[in-house]
Amino acid sequence: MKKSFKTILAAGFLLLSLNACKKGDLDLTPTNDVTAATVYATPAGYKAALVKLYATYALTSPQGADGSDVGGLNSGFADFLRLFWMSQELTTDEAVCSWGDTGIPELDYSTWSVDNQFLRGLYSRSILQITVANEFLRESTPDKLASRNITGADATAITRYRAEARFLRAYQYWVLMDAYGNPPFVTEEDAIGKVAPKQITRAALFNYVESELKAIEGDLAEPRTNEYGRADKGADWALLARLYLNAQVYTGTAKYTEAITYSSKVIGASYALKANYKDLFLADNDVNNAENILTINYDGVNGTNNGGTTYLINAAINADMVPSSYGVPTGGWGGNRTRQNLPALFPDPNGTLDKRGIFFGVKANVDDIGVFTDGLRVTKFKNVTSTGITPPSLGGTYSSLDFAIFRLAEQYLIYGEAVMRGGSGGSTAQALTYVNNLRRRAYGNTSGDVSTLSVDFFLDERGRELYWEGHRRTDLVRYGKFTGSSYLWPFKGGVKAGANVPTHRNLYPIPAADLIANPNLKQNTGY
């Protein structure tokens, strides 16, 4: 189902340009000649509009790879995953980039300013996707459907579309809550363009996201019964589990029992671990894969951009590494690699024992950020199938590898950490079983089994299992190690040996341009 849905995503986004948002404003009205009455006139129109909600995750504009619908941001930087990944990985112990583009060294050094273009870009991208979801929800109320003579099975289908739109909006509000804390807040109930959006507190936004995810559960498809790449109950539960694991950071009140409850719901559904870890990150990861819960779908021909998995693959290799072996024969940009902290989590850097360690290179230490060969490269993402076939790719650069927003392994680790942090409803014995399931896959036998667990163990195990998948900053914040000086990595705080980073940097700043445009917003403390 993946290939047909990916084609629909690419074509649908290019054809449907309602609400082309250039500034990331939450209360924009449509700016083109395609009116809502035209787009939403038929059930097929609603499906096309739903397609756009998903396509905004994988593409950068209606103009394709050369366009940017995030104002002031180069098209190559405007993809959601690229921006999200940079915010979650380049600012941590897992990754560093040799490029000198304005704003990248700030992320490498943990010295970002309120004008950092990549942090502004992620903020604007999330708001854009919330804006598009709000528009869909305004146009899909029961009254709107009745006025357009849409009834019966068609109306029932659109009810599910509405639940998915609310899920996608909740996910983006989670991104904003996690990264920026106190963003502007608008739903479909707010009048368009009448007043500037009000700011919501982090704790209040937590309550909203939680309530939305619970409210839509009954209207979502059962796990693994929806079209590939569309949200279902499994995705809903997975986001709730992630939300609850971090609740103490977001609200000051721990909810580890709830994290156990919802991770257990996912684990008890129809998901299963992929037999080989490396196959999760190959171009046919949609085939015989019951581990992925929700993916961003990419297509190297029908829906291209320079972010997403195209970025993850190309930025981590250069011409000396034979790009064709990674499925991008004319690619290889030579920018991202690890800091030494990440390979040090593994028993050996070559993945001989723990096969999750998929690295390339000989020098683990980063002595010079500008030297690409300082630091091992992460090569687990490949635009090659498990049978060695390279999918079609425009120019030999673009990737068809899908990216998992949620997968079952994370839920095993959420369960275990929540148990060790004192949550009720789970057991250490069950947590050990889940952990050792992951480690037996990694080692190929029981030689990597562990017999005891601790809270700190899970930070390291998440590093081994989930590295470069967009989790690290959130994990380090939860463990109190993202800022401060208790845990250092090369060039943290702008010093080669690592240095203290003030605690206010646990949150990113509200972009300066939005503060100027919206008098209702107040900057996060310390900026």
In a domain, 456, yes or no: no
Measured in degrees and rounded to the nearest 5, phi and psi for residue 229 equal 95, 0
In a domain, 12, yes or no: yes
Give SS3 for 476. helix
- Positions of the chain with pLDDT lower than 70, given as ranges: 1-34, 64
As a residue count, the chain comes to 527
Specify whether the CB–CB gap between 106 and 116 falls below 8 A.
yes
What is the predicted pLDDT for the residue at 22?
36
Say how far apart CA 273 and CA 291 lie, in whole Å.
5
What is the predicted pLDDT for the residue at 195?
81
- Count other C-beta atoms under 10 Å from residue 229's C-beta: 21
| Token couple for 517 | 């445009």
Measured in degrees and rounded to the nearest 5, phi and psi for residue 475 equal -65, -45
Say how far apart CA 85 and CA 107 lie, in whole Å.
11
For 200-228, the DSSP string reads: --HHHHHHHHHHHHHHHGGGSPPTT-SPT
- Count other C-beta atoms under 10 Å from residue 14's C-beta: 17
| Torsional sign, CA 495, 505, 239, 261 | positive
- DSSP state for residue 285 in the 8-state scheme: T
**Terminal alpha carbon distance of the chain:** 46
- DSSP state for residue 64 in the 8-state scheme: G
In a domain, 139, yes or no: yes
Residue indicated by tokens 């990754």: 95
Specify whether the CB–CB gap between 333 and 318 falls below 8 A.
yes
**Domains held by the chain: number:** 1
Measured in degrees and rounded to the nearest 5, phi and psi for residue 377 equal -85, 145
**Which of 187, 259, 271 has its CA nearest to residue 233?**
271
What is the predicted pLDDT for the residue at 520?
96
Instruction: Specify the CATH number for the domain of residue 115.
Output: 1.25.40.390
DSSP-assigned beta bridge partners for residue 402: none
For 26-53, the DSSP string reads: TTPPP-SS--HHHHTSSHHHHHHHHHHH
- Count other C-beta atoms under 10 Å from residue 186's C-beta: 21
In a domain, 399, yes or no: no
pTM of this structure: 0.95
What is the predicted pLDDT for the residue at 382?
98
Specify whether the CB–CB gap between 448 and 414 falls below 8 A.
no
What is the predicted pLDDT for the residue at 66?
74
In a domain, 23, yes or no: yes
Say how far apart CA 87 and CA 92 lie, in whole Å.
9
In a domain, 402, yes or no: no
In a domain, 122, yes or no: yes
Q: Helix 43-58 to helix 117-138 angle, to the nearest 10 degrees? A: 170
pLDDT digits (tens, 9 = 90+) for 103-140: 999 999 999 999 999 999 999 999 999 999 999 999 99
- Count other C-beta atoms under 10 Å from residue 63's C-beta: 14
**Which of 108, 88, 89, 85 has its CA nearest to residue 98?**
108
Measured in degrees and rounded to the nearest 5, phi and psi for residue 295 equal -125, 155
* Residue 176 lies in domain: 1-203+509-527
Q: Where are the alpha helices (DSSP H) in 343-497?
A: 408-420, 428-443, 455-466, 472-478
Residue indicated by tokens 């990113």: 508
Long-range contacts of 153-156 (CB under 8 A, 24+ apart): 154/43
pLDDT digits (tens, 9 = 90+) for 186-226: 999 998 777 899 999 999 999 999 999 999 999 999 999 99
Measured in degrees and rounded to the nearest 5, phi and psi for residue 44 equal -65, -35
The type of residue at 359 is F
Specify whether the CB–CB gap between 103 and 83 falls below 8 A.
no
Give SS3 for 156. helix
Give SS3 for 451. coil
Burial 372-401 (b: 16+ CB within 10 A, else e): bbbbbbbbbbbbbbeeeebbebeebbbbbb
Cα-trace Rg, the chain: 22
Mention every residue, 6+ apart, whose C-beta is less than 8 A from residue 50: 136, 161, 164, 165
The type of residue at 389 is I
Say how far apart CA 492 and CA 476 lie, in whole Å.
13
In a domain, 213, yes or no: no
| Token couple for 482 | 């993202």
